[in-house]
A and B are shown apart, each in its own frame.
Chain A
Amino acid sequence: MNALLLSAVLGVIMMFSGIMLKQKSSVRNIAIAGMGLLLLVNILEMNGAVFFKIDVRGMIVFDRFALLFDTIVFISTLLYLILSARDMEKVGIHYADFFALIFFILCGITLTSSFKSLLILFLGIEIISIPLYILTGSDKRNLKSNEASLKYFLLGAFSTGLMLMGIALIYGTKGSFDTIKLNTFTQAPDLLLIAGMTLLLFSMSFKVSAAPFHFWTPDVYDGAPTVFTSFMATIVKAAVFIAFIRLFDEAFGLLQSQWQLLVAIITVATLIIGNITAVFQQSVKRMLAYSSIAQAGFMMLSLYAMNTDAKEGLLLYTAAYSLATIGIFAVLIKMSDYTFDGFNGFARQQPLLAATTTIFLLSLAGIPLTAGFLAKFYMLKAALGTGKHLWLVIFAVLMAAVSVYYYFRVIQAMYFKEGNAPLVHVTPVFKWTMIVLAALVILLGIFPNLLLNWYYF
């Protein structure tokens, strides 16, 4: 509850700071300080210090799962702001507004991670989506950015329509929005309920860019200014996933036999489309867009399995994926040339950045000693724990092997190829933050309990 209110307030403060303050650096500093404060109050809430007690009639419940996920999101956002806030200056003149929109998105994320009612879920998803449409189109003079924004808005609105339709059908059969009440059955489930659930499944799949609802992703991620792609592809995607797994665990857990095969098919499609298409990309930015689809495929395994391993694993996965991808994007923003060849010889120019980027790429590829490996490990373990569909696991693993191809292309370009990567100037803070990120990725790869213990204690 602390974070929910504070993030909304911070959003408003940031809007006004754009008018009050002339200096861009002070706007930035306020945003980073605010982010730190947000993280702090959320951690305090995890330790039992709730500052606001508002009767929400059980529609929002901040349990361990929600709070821990919010913490992961806030840590990622804090690191993201430290790394990339400077680069937002180049996007447009409404510098402070970008921060305001980011805080509003975080407000939406706290809702999607803690909802107990379908209404709140809808509210959360919308609060996340609308600022995203704006951020995507924030590079106003760039045609691609405009196109991406419009495309995103139209398709996003359509999928929100599907979601509302689904919620309406469910309300029609069960007479309640409450997820707990939805999950009670005595006889065979109603056809309307199944239809509503399927619509929800499709619209959520759209939001996490699972195939075959992924077509917006490459264009939007590619068209949006790279700083915001970074935010969209990591933190926002993770948040929607948490909502996804929460929804299907709490509201439709008993219907698992109805949707499990459907989810398995979506998983396979997402894995194959994400990985195979990523192989053929020439631009690192587009490759990362497809890689985000591929990673979504792996995260879908948690939805498919839906057991304790899956929920723990998804937390770890979102952390591992967000941290690594934020790091790679932070470097990518600094590059002038987004093709693979643009990275040629990068290791000689910037040994430290190249080394940390390598760690992030290894993590995304799922190499042991990095968080990415354990995240994938949890997913595979969860999926094997269901005891059926072994082919799905083997397929996922083969796709992970394919992913090595395109992640390692960046490593090859950085280390093994001669070339003139642009000389990038980075601040010491940037370098240290990258080291912290890399250290976090490795630390979580050896001791996942540093994170997962919070889930229980």
Chain B
Amino acid sequence: MVPVLLILIPLLTGLTAFFIKNERSVRSWVLFSSLITLVISLLGFTILKEEKYLQHQSDWMMAFNSSFSVKLDGMGQLLCLLTALAYPLIFWATWRVSYKKANNFFALMLLAQAGLMGVFLAMDALLFYFFWELALIPMYFLCSLWGGEKRIQVTFKFFIYTFVGSLLMLIGILYVYAQTADHSFDINSFYKVTLSGKQQGFLFWLFFIAFAVKMPIFPFHTWQPDTYEQAPTATTMVLSGVMVKMGVFGIFRWLLPVLPIASFQWGDIVTSLAVTGMIYASLIAMRQNDLKRLVAYSSIAHLGLMCAAIFAENKSSMQGVMIQMFNHGINIIGLWIVVEIIERRYGTRKISELGGLAQKAPALAILLVIIALANIALPLTNAFAGEFLMFNGLLNSAVTKYYVWFTAFAGLSIILAAVYMLNMIRKVFYGDTNIITETATDITLNEKLALGVIVILIFWMGVYPQGLLNITNEITDSILKKADILPMLPKY
């Protein structure tokens, strides 16, 4: 029941929103809808946490054994919570931004939410593919209609990239489907399928490219900074906060358990790409003058670490990734909110044109510093828990012999992250004021509230990450068990 509601509520309220012409009412309507979704998602953790409430299955395309099968397990639950939490925050923080044809904007936002929820809930490969694409289409229209100057070309590039990736994944899905014993798209049939090492070898890339484009992993990342920069900020928050997690999630849900041999076989190459991307993105981030691009590149670096940690394939690293998926979403939405506030209030997001904001807007400065420190993964902030576990896992990885090098280079990017984040804070908030920041005022109560929620979450998850660990404990074990290739190896 809960998973069906999580998809249906945004879908139906989104479709309704197309017909609410008044801008104020449509705002309230979508905020209301997203709050309901949040409540339902929270209910899934508390009152309705019995098994029977958390799954649903009904016939769909029985001709080829595909059913509408959705289920909330630990990982899906966490990501659904992130999605449900992100939306009210986004709507609240961008309350003042006005859009032309606001009804269409908010309707598409909610449709994207329905697609995202579906991706995290689907327990059927075909259904997963459906939602995977469905999340993309509204994003395409959102970025192309309400984006910046170069929006059309940039968004189109983004669309083609992801679409090619997903089509390759579709072939992969169909191929695995043909090999399943009972010819079914059900996830359990996929988990049971036996594929030779050779088959897994090429299937891996069919799947991985789709996920790598989404995350994005170097060298598939070129769409990302442009798209983040050009998209309207509310959409960028969804893209970077939630949507990139689809790639990480896909690896966990489909790649590791279905293709364990190939994950081992290609693990080193993928990790090398991820680590290269981390260093590369961090170095570029240091040179950025545009706040949006800076955050975009920092996101590539963070996602690279997650990808590297997944292929370390042990419990510490995997749990680290899972809780980091959640925490990164919170932090980056916080950063985007600050960027959005700066851009809206002071009319620029060029770092060189800002300065001395701390004198004029102390509350904003304090909140941003906290969020930025969380982004660097300082102890006591939420990202620390995740990154510590990931590094711990990476260093103790049994599946690669280059773990020292991977850890060293990945660690380097953390230092670089501190460089560019602190540098940004120094340039934007300290120093002398200039013409633009002379007349600056501090943020309003609304904005304080939105950022306050994020800061509370940062500390809460930083001081007491056990809650997140408990949620993801079971699912990590089960993925690890499926990804373990030792039983498959010949005995000596």
Interface of B is mostly: helix
In the assembled complex, the Cα of A449 lies from the Cα of B61 at a distance in Å of: 7
Residue-by-residue, is A322-348 near B (CB-CB < 8 Å gives 1, otherwise 0)?
A: 000000000000000000000000000
Q: Write out the residue numbers on chain B whose beta carbons fall within 8 Å of the beta carbon of A447.
A: 61
Q: Which residue on A lies nearest to B202, using beta carbons?
A: A390
Is there an interface contact between B163 and A397, defined as CB atoms closer than 8 Å?
Answer: no
- Please provide the chain B residues from 101 to 119 with a CB less than 8 Å away from any CB of chain A in the complex: none
- Least Cβ–Cβ distance between A365 and chain B, in angstroms: 9
- Please provide the chain A residues from 343 to 378 with a CB less than 8 Å away from any CB of chain B in the complex: 362, 367-369, 373, 377
Residue-by-residue, is A386-404 near B (CB-CB < 8 Å gives 1, otherwise 0)?
A: 0100100110011011001
Determine, out of A105-113, A235-243, A408-416, A421-429, the stretch whose residues face the partner at the interface. Answer: A408-416
Q: Write out the residue numbers on chain A whose beta carbons fall within 8 Å of the beta carbon of B61.
A: 447-449
- Please provide the chain A residues from 234 to 253 with a CB less than 8 Å away from any CB of chain B in the complex: none
Q: Write out the residue numbers on chain A whose beta carbons fall within 8 Å of the beta carbon of B159.
A: 404, 408
In the assembled complex, the Cα of A412 lies from the Cα of B145 at a distance in Å of: 9
Select the residue from B151, B159, B170 with max chain A CB neighbours within 10 A: B170
- Please provide the chain B residues from 173 to 205 with a CB less than 8 Å away from any CB of chain A in the complex: 174-175, 177-178
In the assembled complex, the Cα of A405 lies from the Cα of B152 at a distance in Å of: 12
The answer to the question of A131 belonging to the interface, with a C-beta cut-off of 8 Å to chain B, is no
Is there an interface contact between B168 and A404, defined as CB atoms closer than 8 Å?
Answer: no
Given known A-B contacts A367-B133, A394-B168, A404 and B163 have beta carbons under 8 A apart: yes
The answer to the question of B346 belonging to the interface, with a C-beta cut-off of 8 Å to chain A, is no
Given known A-B contacts A394-B168, A401-B164, A367 and B137 have beta carbons under 8 A apart: yes
Given known A-B contacts A369-B134, A401-B160, A408-B156, A415 and B144 have beta carbons under 8 A apart: yes
Q: Which residue on B lies nearest to A399, using beta carbons?
A: B167
Given known A-B contacts A381-B64, A401-B160, A449-B63, A369 and B171 have beta carbons under 8 A apart: no
Is there an interface contact between A415 and B145, defined as CB atoms closer than 8 Å?
Answer: yes
The answer to the question of B130 belonging to the interface, with a C-beta cut-off of 8 Å to chain A, is yes
Is there an interface contact between B144 and A416, defined as CB atoms closer than 8 Å?
Answer: yes
The answer to the question of A155 belonging to the interface, with a C-beta cut-off of 8 Å to chain B, is no
The answer to the question of A384 belonging to the interface, with a C-beta cut-off of 8 Å to chain B, is yes
- Least Cβ–Cβ distance between A92 and chain B, in angstroms: 41
In the assembled complex, the Cα of A400 lies from the Cα of B130 at a distance in Å of: 16
In the assembled complex, the Cα of A338 lies from the Cα of B171 at a distance in Å of: 36
In the assembled complex, the Cα of A415 lies from the Cα of B108 at a distance in Å of: 14
The answer to the question of A199 belonging to the interface, with a C-beta cut-off of 8 Å to chain B, is no
Q: Write out the residue numbers on chain A whose beta carbons fall within 8 Å of the beta carbon of B137.
A: 362, 367
Is there an interface contact between B167 and A384, defined as CB atoms closer than 8 Å?
Answer: no
- Least Cβ–Cβ distance between A435 and chain B, in angstroms: 14
Interface of A is mostly: helix
Q: Which residue on A lies nearest to B153, using beta carbons?
A: A412
The answer to the question of B459 belonging to the interface, with a C-beta cut-off of 8 Å to chain A, is no
Q: Which residue on B lies nearest to A374, using beta carbons?
A: B61
Given known A-B contacts A404-B159, A405-B160, A397 and B145 have beta carbons under 8 A apart: no
Q: Write out the residue numbers on chain B whose beta carbons fall within 8 Å of the beta carbon of A387.
A: 178
Is there an interface contact between A401 and B178, defined as CB atoms closer than 8 Å?
Answer: no
In the assembled complex, the Cα of A196 lies from the Cα of B130 at a distance in Å of: 44
Q: Which residue on A lies nearest to B59, using beta carbons?
A: A449
Is there an interface contact between A401 and B167, defined as CB atoms closer than 8 Å?
Answer: yes
Q: Write out the residue numbers on chain A whose beta carbons fall within 8 Å of the beta carbon of B163.
A: 401, 404
Given known A-B contacts A367-B137, A368-B129, A368-B130, A397 and B168 have beta carbons under 8 A apart: yes
Q: In the complex, which of the residues B64, B156, B177 contacts A412, with contact meaning CB atoms closer than 8 Å?
A: B156
In the assembled complex, the Cα of A368 lies from the Cα of B152 at a distance in Å of: 22
**Interface footprint category on B:** 20 to 34
The answer to the question of A440 belonging to the interface, with a C-beta cut-off of 8 Å to chain B, is no
The answer to the question of A419 belonging to the interface, with a C-beta cut-off of 8 Å to chain B, is no
In the assembled complex, the Cα of A404 lies from the Cα of B136 at a distance in Å of: 14
Q: Write out the residue numbers on chain A whose beta carbons fall within 8 Å of the beta carbon of B129.
A: 368
Q: Which residue on B lies nearest to A378, using beta carbons?
A: B64
Q: Which residue on B lies nearest to A358, using beta carbons?
A: B141
Residue-by-residue, is B39-75 near A (CB-CB < 8 Å gives 1, otherwise 0)?
A: 0000000000000000000000111100000000000
In the assembled complex, the Cα of A452 lies from the Cα of B62 at a distance in Å of: 12
Q: Write out the residue numbers on chain A whose beta carbons fall within 8 Å of the beta carbon of B167.
A: 397-398, 400-401
Is there an interface contact between B156 and A393, defined as CB atoms closer than 8 Å?
Answer: no
Q: In the complex, which of the residues A393, A401, A415, A452 contacts B141, with contact meaning CB atoms closer than 8 Å?
A: A415
Is there an interface contact between B130 and A398, defined as CB atoms closer than 8 Å?
Answer: no
The answer to the question of A39 belonging to the interface, with a C-beta cut-off of 8 Å to chain B, is no
Q: Write out the residue numbers on chain A whose beta carbons fall within 8 Å of the beta carbon of B62.
A: 449
The answer to the question of A301 belonging to the interface, with a C-beta cut-off of 8 Å to chain B, is no
Q: In the complex, which of the residues B133, B145, B170, B178 contacts A416, with contact meaning CB atoms closer than 8 Å?
A: B145
Q: Write out the residue numbers on chain B whose beta carbons fall within 8 Å of the beta carbon of A312.
A: 63
In the assembled complex, the Cα of A380 lies from the Cα of B172 at a distance in Å of: 11
In the assembled complex, the Cα of A408 lies from the Cα of B143 at a distance in Å of: 14
The answer to the question of A36 belonging to the interface, with a C-beta cut-off of 8 Å to chain B, is no
Residue-by-residue, is A414-456 near B (CB-CB < 8 Å gives 1, otherwise 0)?
A: 0111000000000000000000000000000001110010000
- Least Cβ–Cβ distance between B247 and chain A, in angstroms: 18
Q: In the complex, which of the residues B130, B164, B170 contacts A380, with contact meaning CB atoms closer than 8 Å?
A: B170
In the assembled complex, the Cα of A362 lies from the Cα of B159 at a distance in Å of: 13
Is there an interface contact between A368 and B171, defined as CB atoms closer than 8 Å?
Answer: no
Q: Write out the residue numbers on chain A whose beta carbons fall within 8 Å of the beta carbon of B64.
A: 381
In the assembled complex, the Cα of A394 lies from the Cα of B169 at a distance in Å of: 10
Q: Write out the residue numbers on chain B whose beta carbons fall within 8 Å of the beta carbon of A449.
A: 61-63
- Least Cβ–Cβ distance between A375 and chain B, in angstroms: 13
- Least Cβ–Cβ distance between A290 and chain B, in angstroms: 19
Is there an interface contact between A384 and B144, defined as CB atoms closer than 8 Å?
Answer: no
Q: Write out the residue numbers on chain A whose beta carbons fall within 8 Å of the beta carbon of B63.
A: 312, 448-449, 452
Q: Write out the residue numbers on chain B whose beta carbons fall within 8 Å of the beta carbon of A380.
A: 170-171, 174
- Least Cβ–Cβ distance between A368 and chain B, in angstroms: 4
Q: Write out the residue numbers on chain B whose beta carbons fall within 8 Å of the beta carbon of A405.
A: 160
Q: Write out the residue numbers on chain A whose beta carbons fall within 8 Å of the beta carbon of B156.
A: 408, 412
Q: Write out the residue numbers on chain B whose beta carbons fall within 8 Å of the beta carbon of A408.
A: 156, 159
- Least Cβ–Cβ distance between B182 and chain A, in angstroms: 16
Q: Which residue on A lies nearest to B130, using beta carbons?
A: A368
Is there an interface contact between B175 and A384, defined as CB atoms closer than 8 Å?
Answer: yes
In the assembled complex, the Cα of A167 lies from the Cα of B144 at a distance in Å of: 54
- Least Cβ–Cβ distance between A369 and chain B, in angstroms: 6
- Least Cβ–Cβ distance between B99 and chain A, in angstroms: 15
- Least Cβ–Cβ distance between A47 and chain B, in angstroms: 22
Q: Write out the residue numbers on chain B whose beta carbons fall within 8 Å of the beta carbon of A417.
A: 152
In the assembled complex, the Cα of A380 lies from the Cα of B126 at a distance in Å of: 13
- Least Cβ–Cβ distance between A125 and chain B, in angstroms: 32
In the assembled complex, the Cα of A101 lies from the Cα of B11 at a distance in Å of: 46
Q: Write out the residue numbers on chain A whose beta carbons fall within 8 Å of the beta carbon of B170.
A: 377, 380, 397
In the assembled complex, the Cα of A296 lies from the Cα of B447 at a distance in Å of: 55
Q: Which residue on A lies nearest to B137, using beta carbons?
A: A367
Q: Write out the residue numbers on chain A whose beta carbons fall within 8 Å of the beta carbon of B160.
A: 401, 404-405
Q: Write out the residue numbers on chain B whose beta carbons fall within 8 Å of the beta carbon of A448.
A: 61, 63
- Least Cβ–Cβ distance between A274 and chain B, in angstroms: 17
- Least Cβ–Cβ distance between B230 and chain A, in angstroms: 12
In the assembled complex, the Cα of A393 lies from the Cα of B175 at a distance in Å of: 10
- Least Cβ–Cβ distance between B436 and chain A, in angstroms: 31
21 cross-chain CB contacts under 8 A: A362-B137, A369-B130, A380-B170, A380-B171, A381-B177, A384-B171, A385-B178, A393-B174, A394-B168, A401-B163, A401-B164, A401-B167, A404-B160, A404-B163, A405-B160, A412-B144, A412-B156, A415-B141, A416-B144, A449-B61, A452-B63
Known: A397-B167, A404-B163, A405-B160. 17 other contacts (CB 8 A): A369-B130, A369-B133, A373-B133, A377-B174, A380-B170, A384-B171, A384-B175, A393-B174, A394-B171, A397-B170, A398-B164, A404-B160, A408-B156, A412-B156, A415-B141, A415-B144, A447-B61
Give 9 closest A-B pairs by Cβ, nearest first.
Answer: A368-B133, A397-B167, A401-B164, A368-B130, A416-B144, A416-B152, A384-B174, A381-B174, A384-B178
